[in-house]
Amino acid sequence: MSIVIKVPAVGESITEVTIGQWFKNDGEFVEMDEVICELESDKATFELTAESSGVLHTKAEEGDTLEIGAVICEIDPEGKEGDSPQPAAAIETEKAPEEKTASTSEAKSTGETKEMHVPTVGESITEVTLASWIKEDGDYVELDEIIAEVDSDKATFELPAEAAGILRHVAGEGDTLEIGDLICKIEVMEGGAPEATEATENTTAQESKSTTSSNETYATGHASPAASKILSEKGIDPATVKGTGKDGRITKEDAEKAEKTKPAASAPAKPAAKSSSAETKDSPAKGDRSERREKMTSLRRTISRRLVAVKNETAMLTTFNEVNMKPIMDLRKQYKDKFKERYEVNLGFMSFFTKAACIALQEWPAVNAQIDGNEIIFHDYCDISIAVSSPKGLVVPVIRNAENLSFSGIEKEVVRLAVKARDGKLTIDEMTGGTFTLTNGGIFGSMMSTPIINAPQAAILGMHNIVQRPMAVNGEVKILPMMYLALSYDHRIIDGRESVSFLVRMKELLEDPARLMLGI
């Protein structure tokens, strides 16, 4: 009996995952606990392992979005290595020509037309947008074959065919439809896929009478609904665009890449009158006005939702201070080579700021707290969240018990978490439970900012660019490397006294690294 493997629960707030890639193919033999695929959520990437040894039978494809608990694959424990099923293409080539002819000749229309309507995809969803047609108009589709992708304000859904037959589009790509609206029709066929559709046969008959190439079909040079709309907005004739889709069909991507052909250069004509030359002079220059659309990833949608919620649900306020970075820069310059030689990691600014933050947080515990209903939770430990920019978006891994780590320990943790973030290998545990956040916009050149709190935390410290500025020191003007610090905090539990005192303490520790190392 086959063992059914379902999408596991990977976090309290995660309701769906996307299959990133299959490491084992359908029909391959897998060992128990062997990694068979990679799952992506809006927070992290996970590896799915085999629950038994046997032959793998996949139930979903790469890119499919599945809810928690949905069946993702099955494993036949009685199967043996090498028992992978023979590919359908190989089976088809073994058929005799007579059998092929017989099978295709049996395909015929039943005269029935199956109407497909937009299904109910959620209680609060009243309309959807037809994102893309996966199967073209006039294509033969199998029962339950995915024919289109539909977008709602919460997720993307795949639309499977409700019958086998010839697909006829009713709605176009980009159309907004209400639940229950007609989206397409299927001319039901019996006996498998026909050798050629009626539309193709008619086109072929017409082509035999013309001088066009025999390789062209009805789809050659024809733009899809979405592509046609884009070309119309650009003012481009579809006849000038080369299609890369099936049989030369112009796809949405072709339309987005297409540029309006420039007319051949000719000798400039003399102005007929002064008025026409004046009009030409006054008219604005026209340049490229192309646009492109990209679907937001689930991670980006989650980030957007969380940031808006923080702005709406907290009494957020930001206070500033500035720090003379010369003492830390001199210390790093003096000992960075010996530090790297001994600990095999660079001595960066993050370890100084993390150590200073831990000392200041223990002295001002409200900055290290959070609200839970009508209660305030004070933390006696410092789990410092570090904002890291990854290819998929901003992620915030956590350095656990940073107050107990040395400078080298903090630097090694920062490097380890940053590498995992950029490789998309962070786990849920590594990104949850922080008590305070550090974000360094200075690496991108930020002079000053007001960072948004990383909920449910109560505060976040923003580091910025180091700039040489004239400063008054003991009655003299000196050029010093200065950095602005910004503390955004939830005014519901942190008052001005705590926030300002926290920043002043950070300034004292950073401008005198000896106090930082001695903890005084």
For residue 267, the SS3 value is coil
d(Cα 378, Cα 435) in Å, to the nearest integer?
9
Q: What's the confidence (pLDDT) of residue 284?
A: 63
* Same domain flag for 111 and 184: yes
15, 68 contact by CB (below 8 A): yes
Boundary-marking domain end, from 52, 85, 118: 85
Asked whether residue 19 falls in the same domain as residue 160, the answer is no
Residue 266 makes CB contacts below 8 A (sequence gap 6+) with: none
Chosen domain end from 190, 205, 240: 190
User: What confidence tens digit (pLDDT) does each residue in 187-208 have?
Assistant: 988 877 766 544 444 444 444 4
What CA–CA distance (Å, rounded) separates 379 from 502?
A: 16
pLDDT tens-digit series, residues 118-168: 888 765 577 888 888 999 998 999 988 899 988 766 556 788 999 899 999
Q: Which residues are catalytic?
A: 491, 495
Whether 309 maps to a domain, the answer reads: no
Percent of the chain with pLDDT over 90: 33
Residues 168, 251 within the same domain = no
Domain span at residue 241 reads 219-256
Per the omega criterion (within 30 degrees of 0), is the bond before 271 cis?
no
Sheet holding 436-440, edge to edge: 316-324, 476-490, 459-473, 436-440, 384-386, 398-399
Is residue 76 located within the same domain as residue 115?
no
Please check whether residue 295 lies inside any domain of the structure.
no
Residue 270 lies in a domain: no
**Residue 298 pLDDT grade (very low, low, confident, very high; cuts 50, 70, 90):** low
| Claim to verify: residue 491 and residue 402 sit in the same structural domain | yes
Q: Is residue 277 part of a domain?
A: no
Tokens at 184, concatenated: 């397409």
pLDDT confidence tier of residue 174, bands split at 50, 70 and 90: confident
Q: Where are the beta strands (DSSP E) in 23-144?
A: 29-30, 35-40, 45-49, 54-58, 65-67, 71-76, 108-117, 127-133, 140-141
Residue 53 in domain: yes
Instruction: Say if residues 226 and 172 touch (Cβ distance below 8 Å).
Output: yes
Q: Are residue 31 and residue 162 in the same domain, yes or no?
A: no
In a domain, 355, yes or no: yes
Write down which residue in 51, 85, 119 finishes a domain.
85
- On whether residue 247 sits in a domain, the answer given is yes
Confidence label for 104 from pLDDT (cuts 50, 70 and 90): very low
Residues 389, 505 within the same domain:
yes
**pLDDT score, position 260:** 62
**Residue 93 CB burial class (10 angstroms; 0-12, 13-18, ≥19):** exposed
Same domain as 382, residue 510: yes
Q: Which of 286-300, 388-402, 431-445 has the lowest mean pLDDT?
A: 286-300
Tell me how many domains the chain contains: 4
CA distance 148 to 135: 7
Q: What is the pLDDT of residue 173?
A: 85
| Cα–Cα distance, 421 to 389 (Å, whole number) | 8
Does one domain contain both 133 and 250?
no
- Residue 248 counted as domain residue: yes
CATH number for the domain spanning 63: value is 2.40.50.100
370 and 225 housed in the same domain: no
- Residues 113 and 168 both lie in one domain: yes
Q: What is the pLDDT of residues 348-383, one digit of tens each?
A: 899 999 999 999 999 999 999 999 989 999 999 999
